[in-house]
Every structure is written in C-alpha cells, then in structure tokens.
Amino acid sequence: MLTVLARSRTLLRSIGIDQYMMLLILTALFASAAPAQGEVAEWLKTINFWAVSLLFFIYGAKLSSATIVSGLTNWKLQITILLCTFALFPFLWLVLNPIAARWLPTAMGVGFLYIGCLPSTIQSSIAFTSVSGGNIAGAICAASISNLIAVIVTPLLLSLLLPQSSNHAINPTVIFSIFKQILLPFAIGQLCRPWLSVFLNRQKLPMTILNRGSILLIVYAAFSAGAVNKIWSRISTMELLITLALCLVMFLVVMTIALSAGRSIGLGRSDLYAVLFCGSTKSLATGLPMAGILFPSPNLPLIVLPLMIYHLMQLIICTLISQQTKQKKNHLHQELN
C-alpha cells in the first residue's frame, strides 16, 4: 500500500501536481462542504487582510533593488514580457469572450478577463526559468515589475474592458484599497530591507508556510462564500470542461506568440526561457487577494475559478517543459564530456 502511495505521489509530482496543489484542491472542497459563515467569515476576512499585507511586506524586504536595476537594462526582454502580460492576454479575452459569453455564466467570463489583466507569477516563473537555464535576473525583474504595476494597471484595464452597466464594473477608488494592502507594505518592506533581508532569506520554511498559508486562507474564504450563496449548483460539468479548454487555448496561444515575438526581436535562448515562463503565467498570490477587493460580490468564487484552473494548468505544463529542458541540457553535457 505504501509503495502504491509513493508511486502515486511521484507520478503527480512529475506532472506538476505537488502537495501544495493538492492542498489547494482539498481546501476548495472543504470550504464547499464546511464553509465559514457569519462572525467566523468576518474574522477570516480580517486575518486575510493582514496576512496578505505581511506577505507583500516580506516580498519587499527580500527583493534586491540591484536585481531590479540590472534586469531593467535588458529592455527588449522586459517590454516583451510586459506586452504579453498586459496586452496580449486582454486581446485574447476579446477573441474568446463570445465563446465564454455563450456557454459560461457571466461571472466566469469576467474571470477570464481577470486572468488577462493579472501580473506574472513571481516564485514559479523564476523557478522554471532557473531550472531551464534561463535569464534569472531578467525573470526576477520582469515578475517583480509586473506585480508592482499591476496595482494600478489591473483595475484600470478591468475598468476599460468591463462595461459600466455590468454588475461587475470596477470602481476606480479600489486602486487605493489595493495600494494600501499590497503596494504600501511592499514599499515599507523595501525600506526595511537593509535590516531584514539576510534574516528573512534564511527563514525558508516559515516564509513558505506564510506564503502558501495565506493563499489557502484566501481560497477557503472565497469558496466558503460560494458555498453559502449556493454558487456551485449553477455550474455544470460541461461548463467546467469548457473552462478547462479555454484556459488551455489561452495558455498555449500566449506561449506560442511569446516565443515567436522573442525570436523575431533577436532574444537569446536564456532570454526566451524568461519570456516563456514570465510572459505566459499569471499570479494566484496577487490575483486572489486583489479579486476580493475588486469584486466584493457573492459571485467571487465563480470569478476566481478560471484563475485557479489556469494556475494549476500553467504549473503542470511549465513543470513538464522545464524538466524536459533540464534533461536535454544534462544529456548534452554528458555527451560533451
């Protein structure tokens, strides 16, 4: 029995589904079965606010300003990634929206637009770039800048692309709320970096627990709201399959165009890996807390569901690509030796 469990765990990990992804899925299922309600839900909202603020404070305290400056010098790489993140994705939503509008609930269609307006991942895109032998400094810079400007760019893009008559139209005043919860703690963290960075970089396990624990709390709160408002009774199996298909199409199209654009402007192999992993991924860590501010409605679980599916899909595909690239590099190194 233990052998079967070990093999199953190895198989899941080989396709990008690790313990953390299993915890995300289990948290969503648990919230649907035993949702937080009433006073517990209010306490959870307060805890989530401070957990996310602390998380971005730590991001700021750990991130080297010199890394950002060095990465900025490669302007071709940075512009390509930013265009993929904040221009190509929203354009794809305009192409795919008629399908989503026809076959999916309105809130899930908004969820696909929300994916398009979000920044790149930080940890996973950098990790994939590193494993593949890509430009790590460029990836760190691109992912960090993407998340910083998203505080303003994401709500502005949503305001422009969502009809004002929509029930999900964005109030421009939410930019201040996002600034207060995300950008301000990050800026304070940067100021405190000289005193905290060495200590925080040594605390890998506590930082991982805080990072992933914060996301799990947000997932639990969002899916609890969905269960309380009986959201899941409005989603069919066919709608879930269509969501999976649209996420896959969006991801593969962006990867293809990102690589083609990088090659066309003469980026080297290491830069292409940074473009591939930073330009096609979307941040769950930034997206979930921001969604709670931007969409304070009972439909929030439906809006973030496409993001969670997209996030799981990007981890699986990027893991496969990075592992395959690493194996090819090792094989070539053995042949040369």
Q: Is residue 18 part of a domain?
A: no
* Number of domains within the chain: 1
Q: What is the pLDDT of residue 327?
A: 67
Q: Is residue 132 part of a domain?
A: yes
Q: Is residue 14 part of a domain?
A: no
**Which CATH number belongs to the domain containing residue 143 in this structure?**
1.20.1530.20
Q: Is residue 213 part of a domain?
A: yes
CA separation for the pair 262, 203 (Å, rounded): 36
Range of 250's domain?
38-329
Q: What is the pLDDT of residue 336?
A: 46
Q: What is the pLDDT of residue 281?
A: 92
Q: Is residue 13 part of a domain?
A: no
Residue 2's alpha-carbon distances to 5, 16, 244, in angstroms, are: 5, 21, 32
Mean pLDDT by 10 residues, the chain (337 residues): 53 56 78 82 82 80 71 83 94 90 89 93 79 81 84 88 63 69 81 85 80 76 74 80 94 94 91 92 84 79 87 82 71 49
Residue 169's alpha-carbon distances to 114, 129, 161, 173, in angstroms, are: 12, 36, 9, 12
Q: Which is nearest to 172 in space by CA: 160, 185, 181? A: 160
pTM of the predicted structure, to 2 decimals: 0.76
Q: Which is nearest to 317 in space by CA: 248, 241, 215? A: 248
Q: Is residue 319 part of a domain?
A: yes
Name, in order, each residue with C-beta under 8 angstroms of 228's C-beta and a sequence gap of 6 or more.
35, 37, 41, 298
Following DSSP, what letter does each residue of 219-275 receive, concatenated?
HHHHHHHHHHTT-GGG--HHHHHHHHHHHHHHHHHHHHHHHHHHHHTT--HHHHHHH
Q: Is residue 334 part of a domain?
A: no
Instruction: Read off the tokens for 186.
Output: 């990050």
Contact of 190 with 65, CB cutoff 8 Å? yes
Q: What is the pLDDT of residue 173?
A: 63
Q: Is residue 7 part of a domain?
A: no
Contact of 271 with 138, CB cutoff 8 Å? yes
Following DSSP, what letter does each residue of 64-87 receive, concatenated?
-HHHHHHHHT-HHHHHHHHHIIII
